Copies of this chain bind each other. A is one copy, B any other.
Amino acid sequence: MNESPGVVDLLGVLAYAELSAFARMTEDAASLAPSLADQVALSELAVAEYAHFRLLHDRLTELGADPEQAMSPFAEALDAWHTQTAPADWLQALVKAYVGVGIALDFYREAARHLDPSIAKLVDEVLVDEGRSEFAVERVRAGLVADPTASGRLALWARRLVGEALSQGQRVAAARPELALLLVESASDDQAQISRLFATLTEEHGKRMAALGI
């Protein structure tokens, strides 16, 4: 509906999220994949994240913003999330990719409801890739067939991923009020609305866990 300062924040946080997801997935693919085919599958997902990064980066430039400056306020929170959730094995890496991409897409969808149509279009382009991380579901399910005892461990892992994401998200929302305002219906009672947004994200996360079978 407008291009408030919050829009640059929103594009900046999404851009850094994509850039860091690209780097971490690529690293996880190279260091944890049990086969070259698996490494390639996760690298494909990483490169798709990079393509989203490029869209966001270009949109920031078009808006007259400096992309690096727009991203930098969010680097610390997102880097902290990645440091706290470094996967220890291949199944953890797959669950992280699926959960991380899922949370990001929920966020894009939520943002699209409140934004200027030209940015909503960018969000649509990103959402086209929605099915990409499905390969992770199939491989996690196969992994659980091979080792059913991994299920409880992965369920805990997924809970940690989303817990750390919500905690970093709360931190960002508190530090960047314009960004938070952009994602809620009105300025009144915005803390409650942020909590509601986070509840939606948690609910979607639950559905993804069911899809993974954990």
Give residues in A with beta carbon < 8 Å to B. 19-20, 22-24, 26-27, 29-30, 35-37, 39-40, 43, 46-47, 50, 57, 67-68, 71-72, 75
**Cross-chain contact A19 with B39 (CB below 8 angstroms):** yes
Q: Given the complex of chains A and B, what is the CA–CA distance between A71 and B35 in angstroms?
A: 11
| Residues of B contacting A67 in the complex (Cβ-Cβ under 8 angstroms) | 36, 40
Q: Given the complex of chains A and B, what is the CA–CA distance between A36 and B72 in angstroms?
A: 8
Q: How many copies make up the complex?
A: 2
**Cross-chain contact A40 with B26 (CB below 8 angstroms):** no
Could you name 24 residue pairs across A and B whose Cβ atoms are closer than 8 Å? Answer: A19-B36, A19-B39, A19-B40, A20-B30, A22-B43, A23-B26, A23-B27, A23-B30, A26-B26, A26-B27, A26-B46, A27-B27, A27-B30, A35-B68, A36-B67, A36-B68, A36-B72, A36-B75, A37-B68, A40-B67, A40-B68, A43-B50, A47-B47, A47-B50
| Residues of B contacting A72 in the complex (Cβ-Cβ under 8 angstroms) | 36
Q: Given the complex of chains A and B, what is the CA–CA distance between A50 and B29 in angstroms?
A: 13
Closest to A71 in B: B36
Q: Given the complex of chains A and B, what is the CA–CA distance between A162 and B152 in angstroms?
A: 48
Chain B nearest Cβ from A23, distance in angstroms: 4
Given contacts A36-B68, A40-B57, could you give 6 more A-B pairs where the C-beta distance is less than 8 Å?
Answer: A22-B43, A23-B27, A24-B30, A27-B27, A40-B67, A47-B47
